[in-house]
Amino acid sequence: MTDSPSPADRVADDNTGRKPGFWRGLRRLPLIPMFVLVVLLIIPALSADWLAPHDPIRGSIPDRLKPPVFFGGTWEFALGTDRLGRDILSRIMHGAKVSLSISIAGILAGGVLGTALGLIAGYFRGLADAIIMRLVDITMALPSILLALVLAVTVGPSFQTIIVVVTFVLWALYARQVRGEVLSIRERDFVARARVAGASDLRIIVRHILPNAANTIIVLATLQVGSVILLEAGLSFLGVGIPRPTPAWGLMVADGRQLIVSAWWIAFFPGLAITLTVFALNLLGDWMRDRLDPRLKEV
Amino acid sequence: MKRNLVIRSLQSLLALLAISVIAFAMSHLTGSPVDAMLPDDAGPEEAARLTKLWGLDRPLYEQYFVFLGNALQGNFGDSIKWQGQTAFGLVLERLPATIQLGGFAIVVSTIIALPVGVLAAVYKDTPFDSAGKLVALLGQAMPNFWLGIVLIWIFAVHLNWLPTSGRGGFSHMVLPAIAMGWFQVAAFMRLTRSAMLEVLDSEYIKLARIKGVPERRVIWVHALKNAAIAPLTYFGVIAGSIFTGSVVIETVFAWPGTGLLAIDAIRGRDFPVIQAVVVTFAGVFIVANLIVDTLYAYLDPRIRYQ
Amino acid sequence: MSQIVNDHQHADRVLRTDRPRRIRPVAQGIARNFGMAALVGLVLLLAWLPALAQADKLVAAVSKPGTETNRFWSGSTMWHVMDPALEGLLDQDPVTGENTKNGLAVSWEASDDFKVWTFKLRKGVQFHHGWGEFTAADVVHSYKLHTGPDAIIPTVDQLRGAKAEAVDRYTVRFTYPEPNKNLLFLHGGRSVMKVYSKAQFDKEGLEGYDRKFAGTGHYQFVSRKPGQILYERFDKHYSSVKPDFRVLEFRFVDEPATKLAMLLSGEAAIADLPRELMKDALAGGMKTAESARAVIQTDVVLNGLYCESGDKACGKHLAWHNKKIREAMNIALNREEMLQVLFPGGGAKLLPRYAMTPGHEGYDPTLVERFKKEYGYNPERAKKLMKEAGYPDAFEDPTIHLVLKPSAGVPEVALQMELIHQYLTAVGFKAELREIDHATVGAMGRARKAYIIHPSKNAPPRPTEVAFRAFYSKPGGPYQGWEDDFTSSNIKAFRAERDPKKRDAIARKLFNYLFEQYVSMPMFELRTQLAFNPKMVASWQFPGVTSTGYGHWHTVKAAK
């Protein structure tokens, strides 16, 4: 990694390494994905407790399988009701909270673990590097979905088991990317200067290397929110996702799939919520990648 | 170089050993096949008899070494749920179905993604570029089982064009391959697009244009030939994701492949089969990675992963 | 990696500057360049091969059996897909459901003490694939297989222990050391023993069976592929009934929506749909076939009450250890409403007491009346009882741990448990739903730590003695958790008693006691229901045997 520095790198070298334009870039966020995200994910997640028209968990049997408004239903249940008479709209709103918290918790756990190990592997190289990278290989070689199934039958599916699975899936990815990043950063002048100045390894990692790898980490995280939501859906489909009756989007789609003919709205609307949200998140992630870290292509 | 290769190989062997421990632990964590197989009215004597029959009454370390010793000879033991078949035999029997579907999904996604990616690069920032991106990203946003069921509903039930499920002729593969492959289209397309952008900007393309080579030939022959390398290297990543995707897709489409086998084995606590599936897949993945890494290092010293 | 990719923005800039010179009108360019599109279209067109339905082939889309093997004795919940080729000593009547009809045996008798059973066998029965005539030696051979070390068929422990001998070519005798009153139920009602060819075994061993086993049924085995079994009509069958369909194919499909799609698109003629989907199937012009008898009883087990005196495993910390709570839980349920939600297609009725079956020992018809009153929906009284019991403060663990356990043959149970969760929380119970599969429940039960509430394993009605033994004895099966001194002493007395009247009285007393103690939440008695496509199938009658419940595939009549 002794390439001639790109323009961005040259700027970065002048100070401690933060790439310019991060905040300026944020001001130019793409409008549509942000709007979708705010409307579908953020607002419901923060305010479901007050805004949701019905109880997301307790339904009433007489109101079961009501179609959405415009399809023979009423405004009382705008998106219809499910098999237990629960309001789909309220469940989607509460589900936003679940999806968001799984994504944040999972990405945080996987990201922190993977970043830490990636930093260690890339900075110290040698034995630590070999061990960590073989761990990465092993993790990537193990079908994560089987791990989820095993965990689910062993300790029962729960919020925690999903976080464990998400962490398992993500850490290796972070470790690999961050390590690659660190390998090139550590050869840069400002690191050498810091070392000459007598900075400790820890200080170099935290003050000089981490800030330079931050863009990669942020972009990865943004791109992963969508896949974590999809992962939750897949796990719920296999019956090892969020336990009932918690309203989680993936679980709602999985539960409604049987009745796709007669009560299509049960699976359709949460499916739509997932699709739009993930779509917006991916657009946002793409945009951030282009702005912050165009080298990250393979994720 | 040779020394590197030897070290990497040894490390991979160690990784495989670790995988065997993990596979063993994973299967035993699930409980006991006795509980999955025993009828509801069977008493403790029956349970004890089966525990002994399947060798589950012996100490764990002993069970592990028996498993390891046999596995080294390619023998993962007899299946419990599929009596009369060996665990490895089952994996081999179902592997072609998974590879067939996964391979077809990759081919389909390549066929779609490559030209769209190229054109998106050529017509960058035009409506075509955006539309291509939109379609591709949509595939990455839908839960694949949901897409699968919707596809069955539209193309098999309403239009009656394609069969709903099962493994049969070519037509059986179309829907599951779309449900599986659409997800990959976006990644492929994006890689192709950015690689093309880069190549189109290079000196020799400019030179070709100056020399009067027809534009179509410049794009589809000169540029694509060089741009294709990047998406092709992505195959490794995709191959790994095939298995994960197959677990869900094979369930929806009743496609009798390894993913379905793995689920059934876990539900049935069929230890030998769980171990055979995990070890086979992890082994293939690790060896493939080893080969790819080595090839990279030989072919193109610039793209050294280290 | 960073070397092979240039700075993106830089590339963009360059492209932008020379675009006007290079880019043709977009649509025109796409049309020229996108010859590939035609290729893709061609590939997709090739795929457009409409599935041709074969007129004399019957395709049944059924849930995956618990095991996939040709060895009937070491399989579970696969009776329905083995039934076409394999027959037992006794048969069942497809119209009345009566289950001690002539099968491969034409008459039988038991000694007075029920220890010696003698079966006279049918003559002139041929095995499939030319393996010769069926004789007593085949029965003895099959008995050995079905009671071998790898046998996991239901009630196998009651089949075991006999000395089996061929008295002559067409007579076989089983001698049990203890009285075995329920042998006819084992052979008929549960159909646990099928007859395989000894000649084939002697020549080819188990491998021969695994490859292509020979039975005596209306259909003979052709092949087994992953997810599929193929049978063809056996023309030398002894009965005069000839199956309408020449080929019978099972496809294993677990996803209900996919099964419904197969049925509606005509790919499958028969499908075992969840009851919830029956309505959709009927709306799509399908019809339903139903078992002649109720074949499944469902219960919600209040497990963990291992409370014989001195038993440390007794779940005293559980809320449902308290009888008032058990009663409150029962009357918090609106069973009529559940019936409508779960079984919109019918075929189900309420069950007053699990394991109590009309015609069997100890059946008490007065409990049916009392059930309406004492188990009827009464949320107010439930709340009052909870208050009296001091719920939740008086309990170490006030949470009601409900298990959502998918159960073969009863796909409705998940929804059922969700409904129960709704009813219980509505009257103020603290309840949680846990996703635990039946193997783990079994493991917990075997360890006597099943402090959970779960649906019973789908259970066919069975003789009272068998039921008591499995569900209320220590230690019976792992899926039932009620034990106390009164119950066990009475079961002991019942099993020792020979006088039928006294036996009946003890059993009745026991059922009344279990009823009054609210030892579980009894649910439904179900007939097996399947949907079929009337364009291909005209009718189908089957008796209903064991828990998977359907068979007699030779009675499927083809539509004209």
Residue in chain C closest to A2 (alpha carbons) equals C3
Residues B148/B249, Cβ–Cβ less than 8 Å: yes
- Bridge-partner residues for C251, per DSSP? C61, C228
Q: What is the distance, to the nearest Å, from the Cα of residue C209 to the centroid of all Cα atoms in its chain? A: 25
Q: What's the rounded Cα separation, in Å, for the pair C338 and C273?
A: 18
Check whether A201 has a pLDDT greater than 50: yes
| Cis amide leading into A245 (omega within 30) | yes
Instruction: Please name the residue that has the structure tokens 């007393």.
Output: C509
The pLDDT value given to residue A242: 87
Q: What's the rounded Cα separation, in Å, for the pair B188 and B116?
A: 10
- Residues of A (50-109) whose Cβ lies below 8 Å from B: none
Neighbours of B84 (CB within 10 A): 19
What are A251-281's pLDDT values in tens digits?
Answer: 898 888 888 878 889 988 999 999 888 888 8
DSSP H/E element including C248: strand C247-252
- Shortest Cα–Cα distance, C265 to chain B (Å): 5
Q: Which of A137, A146, A230 sits opposite B143 (nearest CB)?
A: A230
Q: What integer is the mean pLDDT of A27-37?
A: 71
Instruction: Please name the residue that has the structure tokens 């165009």.
Output: A294
What are A75-99's pLDDT values in tens digits?
Answer: 889 899 998 999 999 999 999 888 8
The pLDDT value given to residue B134: 80
Do the Cβ atoms of A143 and B22 come within 8 Å?
A: no
Report chain C (560 residues): mean pLDDT per 10 consecutive residues: 32 35 44 46 45 73 90 88 94 82 92 94 95 96 94 85 94 94 87 94 95 96 93 92 93 88 91 88 92 86 92 93 96 94 86 87 93 94 95 93 76 88 95 88 89 84 83 77 91 89 94 95 90 94 77 90
Q: What's the rounded Cα separation, in Å, for the pair C381 and C358?
A: 30
Residue C278: closest CA among C530, C556, C533? C530
Question: Which residue has better confidence, B43 or A64?
Answer: A64
pLDDT band at A296 (very low <50, low <70, confident <90, very high): low
pLDDT band at A17 (very low <50, low <70, confident <90, very high): very low
Q: What's the rounded Cα separation, in Å, for the pair C423 and C126?
A: 56
Residues A230/B143, Cβ–Cβ less than 8 Å: yes
- Residues of B (32-51) whose Cβ lies below 8 Å from C: 32, 34-47, 49-50
What are B235-292's pLDDT values in tens digits?
Answer: 666 666 666 678 888 888 888 888 889 988 988 899 999 999 999 888 888 887 787 7
Q: Which of A144, A233, A278 sits opposite B244 (nearest CB)?
A: A144
Instruction: Record the tokens describing residue A276, joined without a space.
Output: 């739009």
Q: Which of A153, A244, A259 sits opposite C418 (nearest CB)?
A: A244
Question: Would you call C559 exposed, middle or buried from its count of C-beta atoms within 10 A (0-12, 13-18, 19+)?
Answer: middle
Residues B240/A172, Cβ–Cβ less than 8 Å: no
Question: Would you call B58 exposed, middle or buried from its count of C-beta atoms within 10 A (0-12, 13-18, 19+)?
Answer: exposed
Give the sign of the dihedral formed by CA A108, CA A109, CA A110, CA A111. positive
Residues C218/C241, Cβ–Cβ less than 8 Å: yes
Q: Which of B150, B243, B266 sits opposite A149 (nearest CB)?
A: B266
The pLDDT value given to residue A142: 83
Check whether A181 has a pLDDT greater than 60: yes
Instruction: Record the tokens describing residue C267, joined without a space.
Output: 């790919």
Instruction: Record the tokens describing residue C233, joined without a space.
Output: 């009509």
Do the Cβ atoms of A275 and B141 come within 8 Å?
A: yes
Measured between beta carbons, the chain B residues lying within 8 angstroms of C24 are 215
- Shortest Cα–Cα distance, C270 to chain A (Å): 18
Question: Would you call C405 exposed, middle or buried from its count of C-beta atoms within 10 A (0-12, 13-18, 19+)?
Answer: buried
What are B20-40's pLDDT values in tens digits?
Answer: 999 999 899 888 899 888 877
Residue A202 makes CB contacts below 8 A (sequence gap 6+) with none
Check whether B232 has a pLDDT greater than 80: no
Interface of chain C against chain A, CB under 8 Å? 1-3, 5-10, 255-257, 260, 274, 276-277, 279-280, 283-284, 334, 337, 341, 404, 406, 415, 418-419, 421-422, 425-426, 432-437, 439-440
Side-chain half-sphere CA neighbours of C420 within 13 A: 29
C344: left (phi over 0), alpha (psi -120 to 50) or beta: alpha
Q: What integer is the mean pLDDT of B198-209?
A: 81
Question: Which residue has better confidence, A72 or C490?
Answer: C490
The pLDDT value given to residue B251: 85
Give the sign of the dihedral formed by CA A243, CA A244, CA A246, CA A247. positive
The pLDDT value given to residue C513: 96
Residues B146/B179, Cβ–Cβ less than 8 Å: no
Residues B95/B250, Cβ–Cβ less than 8 Å: no
How far is the CA of A248 from the CAs of A12, A275, C414, in angstroms?
A: 42, 14, 17
Report the predicted TM-score, pTM, of the whole model to 2 decimal places.
0.85
| DSSP SS3 for A26 | helix
Q: What's the rounded Cα separation, in Å, for the pair B61 and B55?
A: 12
Q: What's the rounded Cα separation, in Å, for the pair A75 and C286?
A: 34
- Bridge-partner residues for C91, per DSSP? C101
The pLDDT value given to residue A295: 61
Which chains sit next to A, with 3 or more Cβ pairs under 8 A? B, C
Instruction: Record the tokens describing residue A175, joined without a space.
Output: 């470790």
Measured between beta carbons, the chain B residues lying within 8 angstroms of A144 are 244
The pLDDT value given to residue B285: 81
Question: Which residue out of A295, A296, A297, A299 would a mutagenesis test of the C interface target, given it has the greatest number of C Cβ atoms within 10 Å?
Answer: A295
- Shortest Cα–Cα distance, B185 to chain A (Å): 13
Residues A236/A248, Cβ–Cβ less than 8 Å: yes
- Shortest Cα–Cα distance, B149 to chain C (Å): 7
What are B146-180's pLDDT values in tens digits?
Answer: 888 888 888 887 888 888 888 877 888 888 988 88
Q: What's the rounded Cα separation, in Å, for the pair C415 and C337?
A: 13
| Integer-rounded Cα radius of gyration of chain B | 24
- Residues of A (139-178) whose Cβ lies below 8 Å from C: 152-154, 156-157
Question: Which residue has better confidence, C23 or A219?
Answer: A219
Q: Which of B43, B164, B269 sits opposite C267 (nearest CB)?
A: B164
Residues C159/C192, Cβ–Cβ less than 8 Å: yes
Residues B136/A264, Cβ–Cβ less than 8 Å: no
Question: Would you call B75 exposed, middle or buried from its count of C-beta atoms within 10 A (0-12, 13-18, 19+)?
Answer: middle
